[in-house]
A = this chain, B = another copy of it.
Amino acid sequence: METKQASTIFEALSSDVRLELFRLLVRNAPDGLVAGDISKQLGIPSTNLSFHLKAVLYSGLVSVEKEGRFLRYRANIPLMLETISYLTSECCQNTPEQCRKYRLESGVAPEVLPIIKK
């Protein structure tokens, strides 16, 4: 992954509205949600949601599909995973012991987040 793509993706997650939007779609993967449902669940006007949807679509983190007169949005989970991999790559100059220490410090369960390689 290239820097430009990754920073665009983080940009897409950098507003409260868009972050909640994306997490909503992550929770609702793989089915996704139509715009109206998203608008209701986030409690923001559809016009504002549309603005933010454009940003996440541009980043690639979300995809859209026409469904009658609705538009269904879905989180692009594989891209999310690639982005995480990009962020954590070559962590600690590839010394697993240090990474392990950090992971313990974070309190995050190992099954959820083992960025340690091998």
Taking beta carbons and an 8 Å cutoff, which residues of A are in contact with B? 3-4, 6-7, 10-11, 13-16, 18-20, 22-23, 26-30, 77-82, 84-85, 87-93, 98-99, 102-103, 105-109, 111-118
Contact = CB atoms under 8 A, between A and B. Distances in A.
Given A10-B10, A16-B3, A80 B85 contact: no
B115 A88 contact: no
Contacts of A117: 109, 111-112
Contacts of A23: 87, 89
Contacts of A28: 93
B19 A7 contact: yes
15 contacts: A3-B16, A7-B18, A26-B88, A26-B90, A26-B91, A27-B92, A29-B98, A77-B102, A78-B105, A81-B113, A84-B84, A84-B87, A84-B115, A85-B108, A114-B114
Contact of A106 (B78, B93, B114): B78
